[in-house]
Structure 1
């Protein structure tokens, strides 16, 4: 008599997820064959980029007559499979104009794939730091900052649960044909009740975008997301990477450098040279000061995303920040590292 195969917790999770999703009107299930056909068998010519847990390919779905981006999780990546399940569960429930739309999913025979709407203008980091000839104009940059603020406000305060993204960075901010923001990659996201404070989740994310207290304690929070948002706004204004060292003889990173210029009343020197002084000075001042406010070393001195968005929309006054960057104070214990998973997932150059 044949023995029945025991179901693993992962198999049971996938089965219940299938049932939940197939009942809804959201993303649909695709077969592996469908997606292999759509991407010319995941050919290198179709590859759009490579991240920590897999590659993304351009695909064409004939039955929907639409171009898509197909993310294929590396086989054997336990963390990748975990992120796949988190992403499908969370992003399939969310609805916002500044979120990348999840079109479908597939887990056939140990293969895990996600299907997204295709973004013709790629990711923000390629425009800010890539070799592309044309720099983003200032109005487009300001629009991107407002779009990112808008979707973060939705995630933190306007959905039924609070969603802490945990990996806000320029390479996860996609741009559609009109350069509207589409925030993607919810593989590290966590759902929290609105009333609860920071949760100990283990440290994951990307160096340069992670709040100092999060690296130290492993407690993800709305404040740590706001910090990442602040870093991105400074990158947008300066055209410099968060991890760059500013100047040959300087040990300063991006935040320290901008804060130093702010203290001297010279922050316009930080504006991306590729803009050739073609920008709105009032908006530049606003974006940089909000960026510094959001990256304040003390999380209790950061704004909520709602407060930051109000200032960016000129609906509230600019904050008064100290001339010198404050030194962070810590009282929390250092987390112990458990599980076989990496403590920090760094992907500074990962992806597109």
Structure 2
């Protein structure tokens, strides 16, 4: 339906303008590095000090007493962690480079920790030396000051506090007794630099740690713990480092540190728990002042917004309507015509609403160096994808050039622009723009620096840790929930697979490629006799009836879960006969209580076995041959978050209740993807369900 038949454009623009009046809580980031001239905004406590460009946490000067030394360095300002009114929690990522020097001794102590605490951090050196790492009191008492969440890098074995070894990583909450630990089986006190990355995902409530040697990145360790930080920390916190020595000594150095947290106003989060007994962070005067400022901004901007809306409405009426038939221009033969959405008012609405921009062909030629082969990122039946750089403003992008020989090219192009341009979720690849000139169809996406999930699952270049894999699966589940239940219509993707799951710079999942996606009303099935998708990910009922459902996407998601756990393709003809089909193989192992045999050997058992088994069982249940027995994606998320009981799949893989079975000889490629499996479609009569 064209915009001139309703007030949709006016309403859309009004809401977009009014949304600008709501001041978000800005994300926070800072960086300290010995390689730049920036002077860190740090506060030092105890024996900590800045030595040139290096933060020393404990005594390290010649002639100083290195025993019973305690020190900390924190960011001088408070860091917003969560919002009491909305219950939203910030994601954060911190990376730092550190070294512990044991001065060649056979034994040294005690280690260092990254921590979050109530703001400001108060350290009591006399009562927190030795094994307490400057964070907790020796008498074990919990006070407001030591309600700390910390990641410890411990260099000494203290069995009285439950240490697993002399060199380990642990996650501590209000106590030096770690909630979870990982034995490093390597010394961390040889004055060798290590790189640590600590991330918190507010949706999964997953606090994960990744550690590697700076000189040997493939040698790495990981650890994670699921925790709702709202239960243990106030809204605003201190972040920093602490270290201590006791009778034994060593030095603790921080060489670089960066920290970034997300915007609290942009989170899709579960509701807040009952508030913990913490002090109010903001006083009434500050709140009153903020309201005054917001009111002044609204008064100043609102008239301008109303004038702009009125101008566009007048312009719209003057333009007159276009024929509705033009809206399906790309569906008709004869090559791409002028895009029906190119009614100026509609394109303006897309751009005002943060939607995709219409690019000129020349802009994209310049961005890709005339589609230089060296800029090519991938190729398939759909066409080619190039890396490009836009210049106004400068931005790296991925540009899909749809092949003129693709039978489904025009339909997929239309589907991408009409569907993904209207969707907003942090786990969706953003469509930046499009172009249809010179008989070319081009789509411009945000550039994903870490490529796609399949690249990392099937290659040896960069091994995904288990915490990273778990967060990727959760991110994918979150966006499917949005598509299936939370948007105004139900979006059935129809091609959920690892090659369509892109990874951003922080290895967070973003679902892309909506060329096969279709819109249906909620609680409705998609009626079709043309089946499209990728072998190995197509649900049995979809393959036999040609009818796509939300449950069909859930099936594909379950296959992806098993691939994430096992680190291999869903169909691998190089494997032994009983292992070719991943779903069947894992189900057989499940019936023997041997699921973990299928887990990716490259993980070297560096994961929580109970969580891994739970993860794989959920994946199996999603691939149940009977779609009525599959969980909804919301149920999957609740189980992943331990808010619902684990399902109990049958010990033997059930038989699909559909006839006739799919004849794979009828499969014909409709287009392709970066996956070697290929994408297929089938034309057949709809069979009857038993």
Give the TM-score of the pair, scaled to structure 2.
Answer: 0.47
Matched position secondary structure for 1:154: helix
Hey, what's the Cα distance between the residues in 2 that align with 1:179 and 1:333?
A: 38
Counterpart of 1:103? 432
* Residue equivalent to 1:10: 329
| 1:101-151 CA distance string (max 9 Å, x none) | 00000001211000000000000000001241x310000000000000000
State the Cα deviation string for residues 252-275 of structure 1 (Å, max 9, x = none). Answer: 510011011111011111110010
* Counterpart residue number, 1:3: none
Given the alignment, which residue of 530, 534, 539 partners 1:202? 530
User: Is the 1:201–1:220 Cα contact (8 Å) retained in structure 2?
Assistant: no
Alpha-carbon deviation of 1:343? 6.9
Matches within 5 A, 1:324-339: 324-330=652-658
2:122: which partner in 1?
none
Distance 1:82 1:249 in 2: 38
2:616 aligned with 1:288: yes
Q: Which of 172, 176, 190 is matched with 2:500 structurally?
A: 172
- Residue 92 of structure 1 corresponds to 421
More strand as a share of residues: 2
Which runs of structure 2 are paired with 1:46-57 in the superposition (5 Å)?
46-57=375-386
**More off after superposition, 150-159 vs 326-335:** 326-335
Q: What's the secondary structure of 1:219's corresponding residue?
A: coil
1:22 to 339, 348, 351: 348
Q: After superposition, where does 1:126-137 map in structure 2 within 5 Å?
A: 126-132=455-461, 134-137=462-465
Aligned residue in 1 for 2:676:
349
Do 1:176 and 1:182's aligned partners in 2 also have CA atoms closer than 8 Å? yes
Per the TM alignment, residue 171 of structure 1 is displaced from its structure 2 partner at its CA by: 0.2
For 1:306, the equivalent position in structure 2 comes to 634
Q: Residue 174 of structure 1 aligns to a residue in which SS?
A: strand
Post-superposition shift, 1:78? 3.5
Check conservation: 2:625, 2:655, Cα contact below 8 A. yes
* 1:93/1:279 CA distance change after superposition, 3 Å: same
Q: Secondary structure at the match of 1:318?
A: coil
Which residue is 1:258 aligned to? 586
Render the CA deviation track for 1:142-171: whole Å, top value 9, x for unaligned: 000000000000000000000000000000
Alpha carbons 1:84, 1:187 under 8 Å: kept: yes
The 1:345/1:115 distance shift into structure 2, 3 A limit, reads closer
**What is the TM-score with the length of structure 1 in the denominator?**
0.91
Out of 421, 424, 447, the position equivalent to 1:118 is 447
Alpha carbons 1:217, 1:333 under 8 Å: kept: no
Using the TM superposition, give the Cα deviation of residue 293 of structure 1 relative to its aligned residue in structure 2, in angstroms: 0.3
Q: Deviations over 1:41-86 (max 9, x none)?
A: 1111100001221110000001111100000011242411110010
* In 2: Cα distance, 1:64 partner to 1:121 partner: 22
- 1:78-89 to structure 2, matched below 5 A, reads 78-89=407-418
Shift of 1:296: 0.4
Partner of 2:169: none
Return 5+ residue gaps in structure 1 as ranges.
Answer: 1-5
For this pair of structures, how many residues does the alignment match? Answer: 342
CA contact (8 A) 2:326 2:340 kept: no
The verdict on how the C-alpha distance between 1:148 and 1:14 changes in structure 2, with shifts beyond 3 A counting, is farther
* Higher share in helix: 1
Shift of 1:244: 1.4
SS in 2 for 1:163: strand
Which of 1 and 2 has greater Rg? 2
Shift in Å, 1:37 = 0.4
Contact 2:578 2:585 (C-alpha < 8 Å) held by counterparts: no
3-state SS of paired residue (2:534): coil
Tell me: CA distance 1:115–1:51, structure 2 relative to 1, closer, same or farther (3 Å): same
